[in-house]
Chains A and B, each alone.
Chain A
């Protein structure tokens, strides 16, 4: 997994709440057995017209947001289906940071497995970031994971919270499975006891 480092990047704005994973990556693209190539389908039904051309009214098609790595969105982002194809599409499109007031639990976990930092802001903090982007489309924010800080040109930045273990794994690009396997002795020991209590689970 790629390590997450401090960066300055364009912040794209979507003033929408309850964006579900069906919108992030519609079901017709879930049939692939590969993990790559989903970025071209991100927000497909909103992003493209019937004839395949760009929908000019869709936020991310604005010229000012091209190349953005930061996505600023309304409440409860990523609700619905557990599909990890959603963060795969977001990451493949070029985003590595999302800022919202809240995320659906499964989506939130999935982000950290894909080098994406989902930042939780208060309603007030988010409103100010949104207003700053509205007033200055194409503005770049700095995301400093080490110091857990967002810096913006208009001074609307803030400190954010993130679990220590998630921060550590993200900033070092660590493989979760590798980390867990370091605990194999504890897992073996637990399993042995569990098997004695519930032998029928092993039949």
Chain B
């Protein structure tokens, strides 16, 4: 039978299906951060259970960590306790932790690929919905809840129900300055935030093959925004070149064996998907969200819709509520929306490529009056690489703040946040009400679009620069 990549990974990780229970899948890699793990460790302790495979876990601190004055103690006592609890739990269970002071520290989904911790064909979980990122390597990577974090620690398996499969094929080449982020947003706009529910998405087509590994990570990262638990891209030469030589990637004879396995992973020609969606890359414009859900998105040259533009009653009401929250009028041109704060960073767009393209647009400009612009590298390695290339200077000379790594304004848990009514252009992944601070108004964009908005003070079509 012809199989999709998802089915191949499922079959190779199937452990057992006991009568009356869901199939158990084996988990190879388990990623952790401080927010969704403490209660799982507590559960293990209460049940007198042990971590089955400590070597399968890589942990970091990212959500609550400050992005400035890192040498000072964390001011928020509850966040401080959470960080300390993470350190204690990792020590007690002998886990590999990149703590705040470790040169490998950063956002979990940025750090993991840097060390080659997620190889193709494996199953990877994390108490974090953006685990989907690692599908860029052809690994089945998905977010889980804290009870499941405990389950994986205790058993190295998870009871799972088979997902449906969705092929999203992007034909042709992207236009200049349209990026992986724009593909991700355009897909969410087309199929909606529940469009991928119950599915694993496989991204394919010329535009996907041509994406860098960083771009593929951005795309898979936002599979969850389209409702899918996981996104997948077939591994190819770019994947192997990226992985070779990294810390957790095999070498010598084991590399050859691993490579032979990885080459068997791509979906068989003619394999059947439950759903297929085909888009033309050339139709994908730089995207800007205008509402409070990632599906409320449009091209930069368009206008904001009005509630009456939607036939569906619920969508119409959602539009009305969103415009009210966002303080926007229907039919305003996207390029007429003025912004107060620019954020480049997050597990979606906090990689070196993101800062390179943003710096390219920022070079020789100045941040507009009354606009604050912050650049938050996804990890210390990204920060160092950017500094080695002189990118930090380009940002700071233009009036940007160059910060320490962390999740920062993506979910505003660490004190970096919008005040009520402030409007951001953000390279993160969610524009939900209050996501970047209570009353804050978020517009999701690519790094290039964010950088251009910083100097203009409003959205601009970067293709005209």
Contact = CB atoms under 8 A, between A and B. Distances in A.
Interface of A: 17-18, 20, 22-23, 26-28, 30-35, 45, 74-76, 79-84, 87, 102-106, 109-110, 113-114, 163-166, 168, 176-177, 179-184, 186-187, 190-191, 194, 197-203
Interface in B360-384: none
Interface string B133-167: 00000000011111110110011110101010000
Closest 9 CB pairs of A and B: A113-B147, A200-B250, A84-B145, A33-B38, A110-B145, A186-B16, A76-B194, A82-B143, A82-B129
Among A114, A177, A183, find the residue whose CB has the most chain B CB atoms closer than 10 A.
A177
Interface of B: 15-16, 18, 20-22, 24, 26, 28, 35-36, 38-39, 42-43, 47, 49, 55-56, 63-64, 76, 78-79, 81-82, 85, 119, 122, 127-129, 142-148, 150-151, 154-157, 159, 161, 163, 193-194, 197-198, 224, 227, 229, 250, 254, 258, 261, 293, 295, 314, 318, 411-413, 430, 432-435, 438
Nearest to A36: B39
Nearest to A200: B250
B430 A22 contact: yes
Given A186-B24, A187-B156, A198-B258, 4 more contacts: A26-B434, A82-B143, A113-B145, A198-B28
Contacts of B151: 176-177, 180
A102 B82 contact: no
B147 A114 contact: yes
Nearest to B407: A27
Contacts of B22: 163, 165-166
Contacts of B314: 17, 74-75
Nearest to A35: B39
25 contacts: A17-B314, A18-B295, A22-B432, A22-B434, A26-B434, A27-B412, A28-B413, A74-B314, A75-B194, A82-B128, A82-B145, A83-B36, A104-B197, A106-B145, A114-B147, A165-B22, A176-B159, A177-B49, A179-B18, A183-B16, A183-B18, A186-B15, A186-B16, A187-B155, A198-B28
A122 B83 CA distance: 43
A183 B25 CA distance: 12
A31 B64 contact: yes
B432 A82 contact: no
A191 B26 contact: yes
B42 A35 contact: yes
A84 B229 contact: no
Q: Is the interface of B mostly helix, strand, loop or mixed?
A: loop
Among A28, A33, A34, A87, find the residue whose CB has the most chain B CB atoms closer than 10 A.
A33
Nearest to A169: B21
Contacts of A84: 36, 39, 127, 145-147
Among A80, A103, A199, find the residue whose CB has the most chain B CB atoms closer than 10 A.
A80
A75 B142 CA distance: 22
A201 B156 CA distance: 13
Contacts of B128: 82
Given A84-B145, A182-B18, A79 B42 contact: no
A18 B293 contact: yes
A83 B24 CA distance: 22
A153 B132 CA distance: 44
A178 B204 CA distance: 40
B78 A32 contact: yes
B149 to A, nearest CB: 9
Contacts of A17: 314, 318
Contacts of B194: 18, 75-76, 79, 102, 104
Contacts of A201: 28, 56, 119, 122
A140 B119 CA distance: 52
Contacts of B142: 106
Nearest to A112: B147
A28 B147 CA distance: 21
A200 B29 CA distance: 12
A44 B368 CA distance: 35
Contact of A33 (B15, B85, B145, B154): B85
B229 A106 contact: yes
A180 B39 contact: no
A27 B145 contact: no
B431 to A, nearest CB: 10
Contacts of B193: 18, 76, 79
Contact of A183 (B15, B38, B143): B15
B430 A80 contact: yes
Nearest to B250: A200
B36 A102 contact: no
Among B15, B49, B55, find the residue whose CB has the most chain A CB atoms closer than 10 A.
B15
A47 B262 CA distance: 50
Nearest to A178: B47
B282 to A, nearest CB: 30
A63 B139 CA distance: 49
Contacts of B122: 201
Contacts of B295: 18
Contacts of B36: 82-84
A187 B413 contact: no
Nearest to A176: B151
B39 A34 contact: yes
A33 B39 CA distance: 6
A176 B463 CA distance: 53
B99 to A, nearest CB: 16
B435 A187 contact: no
Nearest to A105: B229
A202 B156 CA distance: 13
Among B85, B197, B261, B295, find the residue whose CB has the most chain A CB atoms closer than 10 A.
B197
